[in-house]
C-alpha cells in the first residue's frame, strides 16, 4: 500500500518510488534471458565484448548509436515468468490500485529493457504515445548514478497534459515539441537509483527516458503498463481534469485544500529532495 506521501509525490512530480519483493530465481532467469538474446560475441563477464551491431525488436544498430538501450519485447510477451514479475506481482498491482483503483488486467508486459554502458552524453526526454495511466519500471539489478536508471523530469506531466488534445490519446498539439524542449530546458531531470525490486510508478504524460549507463555493468529492468476501464472510456475525450479517472484516494488528495500550493516550484523542489532521500533508503535497503 502506498503512503499518502507517495501518492502526493505522484500527483506533484508525476512519479513515486517503492520497493517490492521479487523471487531471486526469476530475476536470475530474466538476466540470463537477456544474455541468451544478445549476440554470441557478448560475454556477461567481459564488458569489452559489449560493442558492435545489435538487433532487438526495434532495429539493428550499434550499441553506441542506440545509447546502450535495448528492447526485447515481442519475443518475450508470452512468457508467464516475465508477466508474473510485474503484472502478476501482488505488491505491484496493489500499489497501482492505490493510484487508479482496480486496473484492467494487462494482456502482456512490455518486455526486458537492458541498458549497456556507453560514453556519457546529455539525456533527451520524450512522452509515450500509447494509452495507459501508470507505467511501472521494475529494476532487476542494482542501479547507481549514471547507471542507466529510469530518468524523469519531475512535474512535467502537468505541462505535457496541456499539449495533448485528449486525456490519453496520441493527439499531440502543434506546441508539443516546443513544450518538451522547454521542459528539458527548465526542469532538472532525476535519475532513479536503487537495488533489485525498486519500482518506479509514473504518469503517462511524464517526460522521461532511460538514462545513460557509464558503469561497467548492464542495467536490467522490465516494464509494464496499467489502466482502468474509466480511463479507457474517457481517453479519447478532451481532458478537463487529468485525475478524473483515478482512484478516490488520488482524487481526494488532488482536490484537498492547499493541493495547488503543493505544486508550487518550492514544493516541487522540496518533494524532489524527499524522493531522493527515499531513493537512497531503497538503495541501502533501509
CB-based contacts of 122: which residues, under 8 Å, 6+ apart? none
Model-wide pTM > 0.85:
yes
Percent of the chain at pLDDT above 90? 81
Tallying the residues shown for the chain, one arrives at: 286
Q: Cell triple for residue 180? A: 518538451
Q: How far apart are CA 219 and CA 159, in angstroms?
A: 29
- Label residues 74-106 b or e (16+ Cβ within 10 Å = b): eebeebeebbebbbbbeebbebbbbbbbebeeb
Name the pLDDT band for 259 (thresholds 50, 70, 90).
low
CA max distance for the chain: 59
pLDDT tens column, 136-171: 999 999 999 999 999 999 999 999 999 999 999 999
What are the domain boundaries of the chain? 4-284
- Neighbour tally for 262: CB within 10 Å: 18
- Neighbour tally for 66: CB within 10 Å: 18
Name the pLDDT band for 3 (thresholds 50, 70, 90).
very high
Q: Mean pLDDT for the chain?
A: 90
pLDDT tens column, 111-142: 999 999 999 999 999 999 999 999 999 999 99
- Judged against a pLDDT cut of 60, whether residue 12 lies above it is answered with yes
Name the pLDDT band for 278 (thresholds 50, 70, 90).
very low
CA 125 to each of CA 54, 65, 145, 177: distance values in angstroms, whole numbers, following the listed order? 23, 16, 17, 11
Helices 90-100 and 4-13, axial angle in degrees (round to 10): 60
- Judged against a pLDDT cut of 90, whether residue 189 lies above it is answered with yes
CATH superfamily assigned to domain 4-284: q2cbj1_9rhob like domain (2.60.120.620)
Amino acid at each position: 500500500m502506498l503512503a499518502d506521501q507517495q501518492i502526493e509525490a505522484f500527483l506533484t512530480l508525476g512519479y513515486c518510488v517503492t520497493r517490492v519483493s521479487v523471487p531471486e530465481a526469476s530475476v536470475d532467469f530474466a538476466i540470463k534471458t537477456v544474455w541468451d538474446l544478445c549476440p554470441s560475441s557478448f560475454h556477461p563477464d567481459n564488458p569489452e565484448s559489449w560493442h558492435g551491431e545489435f538487433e532487438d525488436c526495434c532495429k539493428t544498430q550499434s550499441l553506441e548509436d542506440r545509447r546502450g538501450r535495448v528492447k526485447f519485447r515481442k519475443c518475450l510477451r508470452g512468457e508467464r515468468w516475465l508477466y508474473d514479475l510485474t503484472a502478476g506481482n501482488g505488491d505491484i498491482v496493489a500499489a497501482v490500485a492505490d493510484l487508479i483503483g482496480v486496473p484492467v488486467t494487462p494482456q502482456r508486459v512490455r518486455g526486458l529493457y537492458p541498458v549497456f554502458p556507453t560514453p556519457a552524453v546529455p539525456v533527451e526526454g520524450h512522452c509515450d504515445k500509447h494509452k495507459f495511466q501508470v507505467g511501472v519500471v521494475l529494476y532487476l539489478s542494482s542501479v547507481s548514478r549514471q547507471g542507466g536508471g529510469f530518468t524523469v523530469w519531475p512535474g512535467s506531466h502537468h505541462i505535457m497534459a496541456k499539449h495533448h488534445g485528449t486525456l490519453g490519446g496520441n493527439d499531440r498539439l502543434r506546441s508539443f515539441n516546443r513544450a518538451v524542449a522547454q521542459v528539458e530546458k527548465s526542469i532538472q531531470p532525476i535519475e532513479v537509483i536503487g537495488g533489485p525490486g525498486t519500482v518506479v510508478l509514473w504518469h503517462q504524460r511524464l517526460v522521461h527516458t532511460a538514462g545513460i549507463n557509464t558503469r561497467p555493468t548492464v542495467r536490467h529492468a522490465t516494464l509494464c503498463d496499467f489502466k482502468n476501464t474509466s480511463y479507457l472510456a474517457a481517453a479519447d475525450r478532451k481532458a478537463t481534469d487529468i485525475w478524473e479517472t483515478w482512484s478516490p484516494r488520488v482524487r481526494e488528495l488532488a482536490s484537498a485544500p492547499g493541493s495547488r500550493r503543493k505544486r508550487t516550484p518550492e514544493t516541487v523542489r522540496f518533494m524532489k529532495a524527499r524522493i531522493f532521500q527515499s531513493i537512497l533508503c531503497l538503495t541501502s535497503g533501509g
